[in-house]
Structure 1
Amino acid sequence: MAEIVEAEHWIESPGGRLYAKSWAPCDLNSKSPIILFHDSLGCVALWKDFPQLLAGSLGRRVIAYDRLGFGRSDARTDILERDFIALEAERFVPLLCEQLAVPEFVACGHSVGGGMAVETGAKFAGCKAVITIAAQVFVEDKTLQGIRIARQEFASVDNVARLAKYHGDKADWVLRAWIETWLAPEFAAWNLDAALGRLRCPVIAIHGDRDEYGSLAHPRRIAAGRGSFHIFPDAGHSPHRERPALVMGVIKDFLAYSADPAG
């Protein structure tokens, strides 16, 4: 694998500073970089070695950032708005692209981050392709049941402590933001249908057949009439961690034949 150069960045926003990290091979090509959107409990550190593997395998710069309130980004105390997924693309992606000089990119997101990648692709002509990993596109009973089970598991002090390893004293807010937002009755009607209808770039949906937070209806709806989906057997909610080499291969093949003009 090519040598990878890592760099840390701080993105200024009206709500506070966002932490970002980038990985770039020394022999960087001119292909559009990949922006990673993390899941509901995630952050840059929880991507583990996935960004480095992506950068080395694809020869592209990879950028991941902690959403406001997560990881090393500044804390927040407000309640997430019902349309927080769309607002992430509207409020923060332009700041990231401007301050890191990224005019064109590929959006790749895990779980709720996949929804943010879709919203980003729907809003910006500079988004040349969208990759979703275990994304949800509507509020499904299976998703809510998975969250209720997780809520019981996080009643354990040890589990909260593990979350605090990545989010520090923001861990309680991160946990509440996930559980309370998704289980709120007013969130039940949320879906990505409008954003999916506005997508004009290539899209691929990656999903595990044992995903505890969403059925195969999600990747099928993402891909319907606009892209493709890939189902990994015996994989759960994090196929990029469970089957990294296979996921890497699927992404590499997708981008090689996508509409990314530099791909």
Structure 2
Amino acid sequence: MAVESKDLFVEVPGGQVFVRQWTADRSSGVPIILLHDSLGSVEQWRSFPEALATATSRNVIAYDRLGFGRSTLRTSPAEAGFIDEEAQIYLPAIVAALGLSHYVLFGHSVGGGMALVAAAISGSHCAAVITESAQAFVEERTLSGIRDAKNAFESEDQFSKLTKWHGERASWVLAAWSEVWLAPAFRGWSLDPYLGKVRSPVLALHGDSDEFGSCEFPRRITQGVHGLARMEILSPCGHVPHREREGDVLGLVQRFLVENGIA
């Protein structure tokens, strides 16, 4: 199945976000919107969006959050409410610009938290949510992983990996992740205020060896949401299942959408 991609920029409060859409032959049904992780970007999804479009016969959309990738540079420090902000301000602006009435949200890592918050506030517009390695609260394993990564990025070689994807935005991107999550004021954060408001079906994917969070995260998510929910633990697998176990992730997503009648 052939897949074509199209790039565009969308105006949002504070600048422009870079958006890429993948369209498969004979694609139909509700499109899937990808929400990237704390250091991520459209390009860092690599081959997965095209594979997802092919496996599900749906349009797939990904975007660089403001300050990331090819989107407008941000200079002011990220704030503790950045997850709610994405769900309440930026994602709705993109959805409106693309003229989408319904969509499936697929969020990796913190993008999974954003997807659940967005589902909680968007009502029936969100047909389903797939979280992958999503944090549900602040766990010591998460903080330890962030500290280790922050220390590693002090190496010029390691930091160059960030600049490859984010250019001059790289320092802001790293600080937006590490400084917020490691701040004492953020220790009380969780998805609990939103989970009970999620009515759409939820698939929570998690690696058994995820260095940024235990399987308590998907368990909290699936037990807390109001709608139908399923947890799938991939083994052996770390924090990036769509790269480490792409075939399994594609199969689970396709089956989940079919079983829940997501047209």
Pairwise same-fold verdict (TM > 0.5)? yes
Aligned to 1:237, which of 219, 236, 239? 239
Letter in 2 for 1:145: S
Aligned to 2:248, which of 237, 246, 249? 246
Alpha-carbon separation, structure 2, partners of 1:258 and 1:153: 42
Task: For structure 1, list consecutive stretches of 5 or more residues without a partner in the other structure.
Answer: none
Correspondences of 1:1-263 after superposition (within 5 Å): 2-29=1-28, 31-124=29-122, 125-224=124-223, 226=227, 227-260=229-262, 262=263
- 1:165-220 CA-to-partner distances (Å, cap 9, x unmatched) read 00001001100111000000111110001111100000010000000000000001
Q: Give the TM-score normalised by the residue count of structure 1.
A: 0.97
Alpha-carbon separation, structure 2, partners of 1:77 and 1:165: 19
Alpha-carbon separation, structure 1, partners of 2:146 and 2:18: 27
Structure 1 runs, 4 residues or longer, greater than 4 Å off:
none
CA contact (8 A) 2:12 2:94 kept: no
Alpha-carbon separation, structure 1, partners of 2:47 and 2:143: 29
Alpha-carbon separation, structure 2, partners of 1:244 and 1:132: 14
- 1:72-110 CA-to-partner distances (Å, cap 9, x unmatched) read 000001122211101101001111111111110001100
Letter in 1 for 2:240: S
Decide whether aligned partners of structure 1 residues 259 and 223 sit closer, same or farther in structure 2, where only a CA change above 3 A counts. Answer: farther
Alpha-carbon separation, structure 1, partners of 2:94 and 2:249: 26
- 1:13-43 CA-to-partner distances (Å, cap 9, x unmatched) read 12000000000112122x1000000000000
Letter in 2 for 1:68: L
Alpha-carbon separation, structure 2, partners of 1:114 and 1:14: 22
Percent identity over the alignment is 47
Alpha-carbon separation, structure 1, partners of 2:76 and 2:190: 22
Q: How many residues are paired up? A: 259
Alpha-carbon separation, structure 1, partners of 2:115 and 2:178: 21
CA contact (8 A) 1:128 1:259 kept: no
Alpha-carbon separation, structure 1, partners of 2:66 and 2:210: 27
CA contact (8 A) 2:13 2:90 kept: no
- CA root-mean-square deviation: 0.9
- 1:57-82 CA-to-partner distances (Å, cap 9, x unmatched) read 10000000000000000000112221
Secondary structure at 2:15 match in 1: coil
CA contact (8 A) 2:77 2:172 kept: no
Alpha-carbon separation, structure 1, partners of 2:92 and 2:178: 27
Q: Give the TM-score normalised by the residue count of structure 2.
A: 0.97
Secondary structure at 1:17 match in 2: strand
